[in-house]
Amino acid sequence: MQLSPEERRRVYEEEKARIEAEREKQRDENAPTVNLEPNLAGLLCYLGIWMTGIVFLILEQKRPFVRFHAIQSIIVFGVLFIAMFILGSIPFVGWFFGVLLGTLMFVLWVVLMVKAYRGELFKVPLAGDVAEKASGVLNEK
């Protein structure tokens, strides 16, 4: 089958436009929603405990690394915050649980911020598995 020069030119232009549209779509899919480096955005997910996790989960729709840290922040600190509130209200021994969970929260807060800033996907048991599946970070590897 022979194509005339006009037909060849038309096929060439159509294919060129299709390839360019595909490249543009890939650029849009990989473009960050939040204009920060991923490691800095990961650190900021933990900065305000579970509240900044919610903010970054809403704002960042495309980068699984940032979404992982946002989801993990919400789960870890949300559960610890609720547990500290409930256990802290127990008469006589509530203060002990409050101090214990407060110390645990502080240590986790610092460790998770440092690990996120280093670009690591440090998983807290249970919460990290849920965050890994929900963020889509498994598909990125």
- What's the pLDDT at 140? 57
- What's the pLDDT at 120? 92
> d(Cα 39, Cα 121) in Å, to the nearest integer?
10
Residue 122: both structure tokens together:
């440090």
pTM of the model: 0.74
Alpha helical stretches, state H, the chain: 5-30, 38-47, 50-59, 64-88, 94-117, 127-135, 137-140
- What's the pLDDT at 117? 96
Q: Where in the chain are the domains?
A: 1-31, 36-140
- What's the pLDDT at 48? 92
Residue 6: both structure tokens together:
């006009």
Q: Are residues 76 and 108 in contact, defined by beta-carbon separation less than 8 angstroms? A: yes
Beta-carbon contacts of residue 47 (< 8 Å; ≥ 6 apart) = 113
Which of 85, 83, 55 lies closest to 69, judged by CA?
55
- What's the pLDDT at 40? 94
> d(Cα 88, Cα 82) in Å, to the nearest integer?
10
- What's the pLDDT at 2? 83
Type of residue at 45: C
pLDDT tens series, the chain, 141 aa: 688 888 888 888 999 888 888 887 776 555 667 788 999 999 999 999 899 999 999 998 888 999 999 999 999 999 999 999 999 888 888 989 999 999 999 999 999 999 999 999 999 999 999 999 998 887 654
Taking the chain, what is the end-to-end CA distance rounded to the nearest angstrom? Answer: 45
> d(Cα 51, Cα 59) in Å, to the nearest integer?
13
